[in-house]
Copies of this chain bind each other. A is one copy, B any other.
């Protein structure tokens, strides 16, 4: 009986996912973009389980997020930048992607233009929606975070980071686009490197910022679709273009 109940639940989940997929595809159908449904991670809650596999034999204990390598002797070592997870893992840039996939089960998507469909926007802060995006020979990390900078007033922050060095990051421009209800909001910037801290990017407010009312205007039934595009920008000419 329990087996059948679980099966039925799984089928319902699949139908729900398919429905959300369909809705996002309808909105973004003109461009024929790949739509990725991204579920939230109310991450602090799950941190111990998810990070269990990453515990090293030295058991250095839980590091605070954004600890800026205090205990790191090799400057090429990166702490786990999976936002909000207090994961003690650290490693070289080259193995960050496999760590994020294997330990934190973060999806990776291919394509120059994709649609990030964040579900359950109503969940309380702090909540993160994260995917990796493989494009132009590099991997990027897209982080959408719901956070209360001012108590009682949650805001949404979206930014893209290159899993690479700051010098490599300077060669790209990313664009986040919201489009619904006869309103359109576009944010374009140079991605930051994951060697910088996602927490500081968000606390500086140097990203796409949405208050709750704007997020609601752009949401459809609790899901927010963000169109993402990455281009190379060796000679950054956005100011001249305008």
Flag if A179 contacts B239 (CB, 8 Å): yes
- Name A183's contact: one of B177, B189, B214 (CB within 8 Å): B189
Chain B residues positioned under 8 Å from A240 (CB to CB)? 30
Nearest neighbor of A30 in chain B, beta-carbon distance: B240
- Contacts A153-B150, A205-B213, A205-B214 given: A238-B188 contact, CB under 8 Å? no
Flag if A204 contacts B213 (CB, 8 Å): yes
Number of residues on chain A facing chain B (CB within 8 A): 36
Chain B residues positioned under 8 Å from A211 (CB to CB)? 205, 209
Nearest neighbor of A203 in chain B, beta-carbon distance: B213
Chain B residues positioned under 8 Å from A188 (CB to CB)? 183-185
Chain B residues positioned under 8 Å from A212 (CB to CB)? 205
Question: Which residues in window 197-242 of A have CB below 8 A to B?
Answer: 204-206, 209, 211-214, 217, 227, 236, 238-242
Q: Is A31 among interface residues, defined by CB-CB distance under 8 A? A: yes
- Contacts A213-B204, A214-B205, A242-B31 given: A184-B184 contact, CB under 8 Å? no
**A158 shortest CB reach to chain B, Å:** 12
Chain B residues positioned under 8 Å from A184 (CB to CB)? 186-189, 238, 242
**A13 shortest CB reach to chain B, Å:** 28
Q: Is A182 among interface residues, defined by CB-CB distance under 8 A? A: yes
Question: Which residues in window 135-190 of A have CB below 8 A to B?
Answer: 149-150, 153, 173, 177, 179-180, 182-190
Flag if B179 contacts A189 (CB, 8 Å): no
Q: Is A72 among interface residues, defined by CB-CB distance under 8 A? A: no
Flag if B187 contacts A242 (CB, 8 Å): no
Chain B residues positioned under 8 Å from A204 (CB to CB)? 213
Q: Is A27 among interface residues, defined by CB-CB distance under 8 A? A: yes
- Contacts A213-B205, A214-B209 given: A186-B186 contact, CB under 8 Å? yes
Q: List 16 A-B contacts (CB under 8 A).
A: A27-B239, A28-B242, A30-B242, A31-B242, A180-B239, A182-B238, A183-B188, A184-B187, A184-B188, A184-B189, A184-B238, A185-B185, A205-B212, A205-B213, A206-B214, A227-B242
